Chain A
Amino acid sequence: MKKPKPEELKEVILESGIKVKPVYSPEDVEDLDYEKKIGSPGEYPFTRGIHPLMYRQRPWTMRQYSGFGTAKETNQRFKWLLEQGQTALNVAFDLPTQLGLDSDDPLAEEEVGRVGMAIDTLKDLEEAFTDIPIDEISTSLTINPVASVMLAMYLVVAEKQGIPWDTVRGTTQNDILKEYIGRGTWIFPVAPSIRLIGDVVEFCSQNVPKFNPFSVCGYHIRESGATPVQEMAYAFEIAITYIQEVLKRGLRIDDFAGRIAFNFDIHGNLWEQVAKFRAGRRLWAEIVKERFGGKNPRSMTLRMIAGGGGGGLTIQQPENNIVRGAYYALISALSGTQTMALCSYDEAYTIPSKKAALISLRTMQILADEMGLKDTVDPLGGSYYVEWLTNEMEKKIEECMEKVEKRGGMIKGIESGYIQGEVSRQAYIHEKKIQSGEITKVGVNKYVMKEEITDVELHPFNPEVAEVQKKKLQEIKAQRDEKGVKEALLGLKKAAQTSENVMPHLLKAVKSYATLGEITSIFKEVFGEFKEPTGL
């Protein structure tokens, strides 16, 4: 290919709309005030990282998303992952569980145990964590509209294992607003859903201080088509909405902001992602300090899991996804994440095989132990390009946040369908650019192979799981004290109807072996269901 002349060079514009020059120099960052805008790691505004010594002191947590079939099967997979050196758990629930349906619900047909494990009652969660020391590992429960119920179950499991709540570490994803934008496991309308999140935060701040009551997911917003700028801006607007809900209850910002967690996505341009996180840390610190008057530096830190996203993986030439995963892990480490997870190479096809899950875990371990990523904090800091791009990303994120706020904030934006529309439009634009070749995707629109041999092993779905769950449900219902169940559910209903915190009632209900479906039905009765805006 002929070498183009300097004036013929193709323009480079990042997904976030930022134009990139071929060369950067000190002039591009001459106004940058190191003390004010960058600072030492572990100090405001945390641009370089939230801890002074970062990975040198403690490497990132490795937490692969996992779960399928029955609680017993999932328990085996959890133990195997921990034996392989994984340092925390990230629980996948099946769709009926995520939507608060019991396994015998007609709507759950064909879905029980398919994309995660099935949980109907406390009994299932007890089995999932049998012989797993939940005081030593932290657990992330990936569930949203009924996160409060799952947290109640988890806390009772801890109690039964003799573990005091003040030592329980983990996260409930519990981010309903992003479910309306992408991912789609919503049940109740917006207002009562946010109230439930407030109940969880309030309860945790008083009783489970080491637990992250919600994790705001830019991840799924980006996976639904958002640009990296929209991913950060919408996530921050969501977090602000939850903060406002909690402040209304009389808590102070420093009572809970240090337990706010974020979940972000990594795919696309390496530099844009790194700058996204550096800008995000700076901006979030400023929001908590300036807008909400946070005093405790911990409250201002952007604590995150940054995961290699499925959106970057391709169905074509699936082994290439192993390489992509390795680069995503590298980006994640260069971005100063606290926790890392990778989509496995077969995830465009199926839930990960043991082999694929292990490759993902080993990818992160190789990076940590062989490549020097733990040696020094924020190794890209000080690069003319990276610092310039960090500034540009920060400006763009702020602009995008202003747009949402001008329209009345996140709740209005979601109820009207504005945010969903912005994201799906972006997804369409992006897909058209891939199909036209404007954005290159190897194996999809470049280096395409005609005769593709894909030997991805598909995870077998076991339809018997539904039968096992149904039988178990019948047995539990036959054995439990019905009067106790009724009383607990009545108490829950009364609390839901008032502004009383539902958590103590949920604890009572799950202890009585009320089912997830029974509890959700109470909420549906009181709160109603979300009406999705379906305009395009």
Chain B
Amino acid sequence: MNRNKPLGEKKIRVVIAKPGLDGHDTGAKVVAHALKDAGMEVIYTGLHRTIDEIVNTAVQEDVDVIGLSIYSGAHLPLSKKLMDRLQERGATDKFVLVGGNIPQRDIKTLKSYGITEVFPVGSILDDIVEFIKKKVGQKK
């Protein structure tokens, strides 16, 4: 799994989270599988998590990336809330990605909240992997 990495380098840590009541977890699990296959450490929160629970997990597990998966249409308020909580907790070093059925017109708004990138339904798995590797690599 660590083929391309120098010995001792820390694995990228990602939490894949399902906020709110929406139960569509196929996309979240597919992305989690892809990130795992790419050698990352992936924590999946399971369904029906509150934003506070997700932030707690992200902080406790010291993740580099939070991936939010939302299919209910409530992506704007949920993402805003997450970014506010991260700010309050001083956990602003984490990259936050949003996936799900996100209309094009909302991507700008999400980014204005501080979301790093949006990967709507139909995104290429390799693109997500490469994006995370690049971003986390730049930081380290």
- Which residues of A are in contact with B by a Cβ distance under 8 Å? 95-96, 98-99, 101, 107-111, 114-115, 179, 182-185, 223-225, 314-316, 348-350, 424-425, 427-428, 431-432, 435, 444, 454, 458, 461, 532, 534-536
Contacts and interface: CB of A to CB of B under 8 A. Distances in A.
Given A99-B21, A424-B29, A536-B33, 6 more contacts: A114-B73, A114-B74, A179-B23, A424-B30, A444-B122, A532-B47
Contacts of A223: 26
Say what secondary structure dominates the interface of chain A: loop
A534 B26 contact: no
Contacts of A225: 26, 30
A336 B36 CA distance: 42
Given A315-B101, A349-B101, A461-B73, A536 B29 contact: yes
A314 B33 contact: no
A374 to B, nearest CB: 35
Contact of A428 (B25, B33, B50, B72): B33
Contact of B24 (A184, A350, A458): A184
A182 B24 CA distance: 7
Contacts of A316: 122
B7 interface: no
Interface in B102-118: 103-104
Which residue, B21, B78, B101, has most C-beta atoms of chain A within 10 A? Answer: B21
Interface stretch (B38-46, B86-94, B132-140): B38-46
A184 B47 contact: yes
17 contacts: A95-B21, A95-B23, A95-B72, A98-B21, A107-B21, A108-B21, A224-B25, A225-B26, A316-B122, A348-B101, A424-B26, A427-B30, A428-B33, A432-B125, A532-B47, A536-B32, A536-B33
Contacts of A184: 18, 22-25, 47-48
A432 B23 CA distance: 22
Contacts of A424: 25-26, 29-30, 33
B72 A435 contact: no
**CB-CB nearest 3 A-B residue pairs:** A184-B23, A95-B21, A424-B29
B20 A111 contact: yes
B104 to A, nearest CB: 7
Contacts of A425: 33
A132 B72 CA distance: 29
